[in-house]
């Protein structure tokens, strides 16, 4: 074992080599890339992506990315395809085959069968002179200078470049479709990411009740209102107009300021101009506002009228942070 190897340098060299090869893809984005994107945009079927070995793993990731951004896609393992999985392919589908060499035995067996289906065949391939490239309708060239592997054997640079090409296709499709964050949320309804994109303030505040006191109410009534709803605050309303907010902090500051609180009312201790948010705003925007002003709750409104309170704990419970 060589103990004098600079481990940090190995990592940096790996990054630099892979980055250089990714950047070199820019010189190979030609009309075939444009035609592939346009073909997918006009597709009535799905994108079928196939590969063998490490290329198959990259194919699965590209399929996941395309599905999550609005392009129906299916992974088909190259080895399984010739043992029955060719039935996945339908007439309107487009096929993408990923291979570094373009000459693996599985690809050589599979490609003639793919050609028989008359589906458009796209090759993401690292060898323009390969069997796969010669048979493909469109070539996306992912040729590399060498693998990051010190023996130039293990797929490292090649798979990174394949992945980057897949990302470029997905992003081009998103951009052409004007795929918005709302669209993205449709495909990511679960987990923190999905909740950031679809969960509304009203979805949380509607469960909290409506703590409220009139401006003339005494301090006992204020404390009861705050305690009853467990939101750390109550709203001071005059008819339908929001006059202010009283929080736990306002109660503490009152006790520090006044010796005698017997004659104090809600109006005497409330904070004016409380921060508000519309119930239709995204809950994650409520979190941003709370962080900006270092507060724990916001007054929720609906068309300007008081509609409740959202507390930072409501957001924490949903796992948005």
pLDDT (tens digit per residue) in 29-88: 999 999 999 999 999 999 999 999 999 999 999 999 999 888 999 999 999 987 878 889
Residues in the annotated binding site for Zn(2+): 77
Annotated binding site: 77
Please tell me what DSSP assigns to residue 246: E
pTM of model > 0.85? no
CA-based nearest residue to 310, from 200, 199, 204? 204
300: left (phi over 0), alpha (psi -120 to 50) or beta: beta
Residues in the chain: 321
Give residue 176's Cα distance to chain centre.
18
pLDDT at 72: 93
Helix 157-177 crosses helix 54-68 at what angle (to 10 degrees)? 20
* 216 token code pair: 């003339």
Domains in the chain, start-ordered, CATH in brackets? Answer: 7-179 (3.40.50.10490), 201-317 (3.10.580.10)
Residues 279-312 pLDDT 10s = 999 998 999 999 999 999 999 999 999 999 999 9
């Amino acid at each position: 074992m060589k103990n004098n190897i600079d481990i940090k340098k190995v990592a940096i060299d790996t990054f630099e080599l892979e980055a250089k090869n990714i950047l070199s893809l820019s010189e190979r984005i030609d009309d075939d890339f444009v035609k592939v994107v346009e073909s997918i945009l006009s597709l009535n079927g799905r994108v079928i992506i196939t590969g063998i070995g490490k290329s198959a793993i990259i194919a699965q990731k590209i399929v996941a990315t395309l599905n999550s951004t609005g392009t129906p896609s299916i992974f088909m393992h190259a080895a399984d395809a010739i043992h029955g999985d060719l039935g996945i392919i339908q007439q309107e589908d487009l096929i993408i085959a990923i291979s570094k060499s373009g000459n693996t035995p599985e690809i050589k067996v599979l490609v003639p069968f793919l050609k028989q289906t008359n589906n458009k065949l796209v090759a993401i391939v690292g060898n323009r002179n390969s069997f796969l490239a010669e048979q493909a309708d469109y070539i996306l060239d992912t040729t590399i200078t060498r693998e990051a592997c010190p023996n130039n054997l293990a797929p490292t640079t090649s798979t990174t470049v394949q992945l980057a090409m897949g990302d470029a296709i997905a992003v081009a499709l998103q951009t052409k479709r004007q795929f918005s964050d709302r669209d993205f949320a449709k495909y990511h309804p679960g987990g923190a990411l999905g909740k950031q994109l679809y969960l509304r303030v009203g979805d949380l505040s509607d469960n909290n009740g409506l703590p409220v006191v009139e401006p003339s109410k005494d301090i006992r009534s204020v404390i009861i209102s705050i305690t009853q709803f467990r939101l750390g605050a109550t709203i001071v309303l005059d008819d339908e107009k929001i006059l202010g907010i009283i929080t736990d902090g306002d109660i503490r500051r009152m006790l520090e300021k006044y010796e005698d609180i017997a004659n104090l009312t809600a109006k005497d201790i409330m904070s004016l101009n409380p921060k508000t948010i519309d119930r239709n705003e995204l809950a994650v925007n409520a979190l941003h506002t709370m962080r900006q002003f270092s507060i724990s709750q916001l007054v929720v409104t609906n068309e300007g009228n008081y509609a409740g309170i959202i507390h930072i704990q409501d957001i924490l419970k949903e796992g948005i942070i």
